[in-house]
Amino acid sequence: MVDPAPSQLLLGTHVSIAGGMEQVFSRAGLIGATAIQVFTRNASRWQAPPLTEDTVAAFRAARQASAVRSVAAHSSYLLNLASPDPDQRQRSILTCLDELDRCRRLGIESLVIHPGSHKGEGVAAGLTTLCRSFEQICRQGGEEVTILLENTAGQGHSLGASLDELAWALERLDHGRFGVCFDTCHAFAAGYDISSSQGYEQLMEQVDRLIGFDLVQLFHLNDSKKPLGSRVDRHEHVGQGLIGVEGFRCLMQDQRFADCPKIIETPPGESNCHDLENLALLRQLAQP
């Protein structure tokens, strides 16, 4: 494992779009972020006002003037592309197409999407429905934006807690348009122990064998409030949860992911105090 120079790290947080999407870059500047994640619309509502040309122009201009080199979007929490309910599935497809179009217009490289829930129909049925949804989405647009499937903690009927499930879906999808967003908290809660160097390397051997490192295109760096294998998704600040510092040290010093953007998804704190502490620790852990 070899450390990239701190200035080369693609590291940052999920940033609020309150007050206008272009505001994310000034907020990123306050914490020294070189990579960010955003929502392109309200993540908790189906309806969203259209993007205006002024918003698009302001976002692109602000990005060009900033130090941010990687921007990902996270999809709406309402999406369930694996739903057995035809109405919910169709609504999810239309919303996903809208988000992909927003990313295209804004110049955002990738869209992170949870695989969804099979709602009791079973993993095989859910994954099959998910792939059919993506096939429809790919036929209708969004080719300029990479879709990143995010691993999950496995709460309820959620798909994507196991690497085998992600691998099954990815084998059936166009590799040129799909990749993986790897969330550390979700992996730990799903039963992958990355709290030690040995556990980290064992997991990465599986990632390489089942998915391939080239498809891992984004990391969510979240510690876990809940125990290993709890299947409960509760984020904690880096190094303060049950994963602990060593797991993040392994990832930050892993040359295989030196150029992969890494995003924190925990509350920023007053005056960004928590973001600043988390980012400072991660930069320190990146040092050999």
Q: Does 235 carry a binding-site annotation? A: yes
Task: For residue 118, say whether it is annotated as part of any ligand binding site.
Answer: no
Pairing verdict, β 35-38 and 11-14: parallel
Say if residue 224 is exposed, middle or buried (CB neighbours under 10 Å; 0-12, 13-18, 19+). buried
Query: How far apart are alpha carbons 79 and 94 in whole angstroms?
Result: 10
Check the annotation: does 99 bind a ligand: no
Is 265 a known ligand-binding residue? yes
Residue holding tokens 């007050």? Answer: 19
Q: Is 5 exposed, middle or buried (0-12, 13-18, 19+ CB in 10 A)?
A: exposed
- Beta partners for 216? 180
Distance CA 111, CA 123 (A): 23
Known binding residue 233? Answer is yes
**Close Cβ partners of 25 (under 8 Å, ≥ 6 residues apart):** 36, 62, 63, 65, 66, 68
Residue list for the binding site for Zn(2+): 74, 114, 150, 183, 186, 220, 233, 235, 265
Binding-site positions: 74, 114, 150, 183, 186, 220, 233, 235, 265
